[in-house]
Amino acid sequence: MRAFILPALALAAAIAAGPASATDTSSLSAFLSSCSPDMKGCKSIVFDLITAAKTNHYGCIPHDLSADRAADMELDWLKNTAGGNPKYEKMNLQDVMWDGVDELWPCHRK
């Protein structure tokens, strides 16, 4: 549980403050709509999520994958996979983003 709480708190703080505060995080569709005019703000929020995940060892993001490249991959996943998927329409944006981390970098435990 701790492994999820710390990154979630870090992401919540990043969403609440900082240069990306103009980005609409009320839902996935609102977030994606606000990315068109403010890709820098969207990238900042996703970058913070990836950084929090890597720092707190959440998920299995490869160590040699930069947070910047991982953020690009997550944004692509949000736009191309999650966007328009009814499964994510009513979910909290943070939950959708964590699902993206889990789907993009699944942990294969033996």
Which residue, among 15, 76, 78, 65, has the nearest Cα to 45 in the 3D structure? Answer: 15
Question: What is the Cα–Cα distance from 54 to 60, expressed in whole angstroms?
Answer: 8
- Give the Cβ contact number of residue 57 at 10 Å: 11
pLDDT of residue 18 exceeding 60: no
- Give the residue extent of every domain in the chain: 2-17+25-104
Question: What is the Cα–Cα distance from 22 to 41, expressed in whole angstroms?
Answer: 7
Do 77 and 98 touch, CB atoms closer than 8 A? no
pTM of the model: 0.78
What does the pLDDT look like over 76-105, one tens digit per residue? Answer: 999 999 998 999 988 999 999 999 999 999
Average pLDDT, the chain: 84
